[in-house]
Amino acid sequence: MQKKLNKLLNNKQVILFDGFCNFCNSAVLKIIYNDKKNIFLFAPLQSHIGMQLTNYFTIDTKKLDSIILIESETSFYIKSTAALKIINQFNGFWKLLKIGWLLPTPLRDFFYSLIARNRYKWFGKKTSCMIPTKEIKSKFIA
């Protein structure tokens, strides 16, 4: 898996997300639109590669209600830290959200978890993972 991960991450970062969550799918599309540096790749947590990566990093997804940003072969981030690290790559008004770094992690994660716990109730749930269009298919790993 280490060799496969090295090849996969070649100057890229991987975002694992809940493929059934409407909010998460919308967030992925916004990230793709704003990823002008072309550094992000995506995989649903429920996919084979998503499960391989969470196993590799020993992440228990049953205890985690979050996106996961895999930055390197040895580092990953969850919850608000993952979101802020992703946003750090964007330009424009997104730069204003860097103010989130000033908040203590437990406080940031409290609000992140509040949204994550209620995401299906507030935004709905798909019956299957998102199928990328031809235009964005190259951003997803299988």
How many Å separate Cα 114 from the centre of its chain? Answer: 17
Give the pLDDT confidence score for residue 6 in this predicted structure.
64
Q: What is the DSSP string of 78-110?
A: EHHHHHHHHHTT--GGGGGGGGGGGS-HHHHHH
What range defines the domain where residue 98 resides? Answer: 2-139
The residue-averaged pLDDT of 53-76 equals 89
Output the domain CATH number for residue 28: 3.40.30
* DSSP3 helix / strand / coil % (the chain, rounded to 5): 55, 15, 35
Residue type, 85: K
Report the predicted TM-score, pTM, of the whole model to 2 decimal places. 0.89
Counted domains in the chain: 1
Q: With contact defined as beta carbons under 8 Å apart, do 112 and 83 qualify?
A: yes
- pLDDT bin (cut points 50, 70, 90) of residue 136 is confident
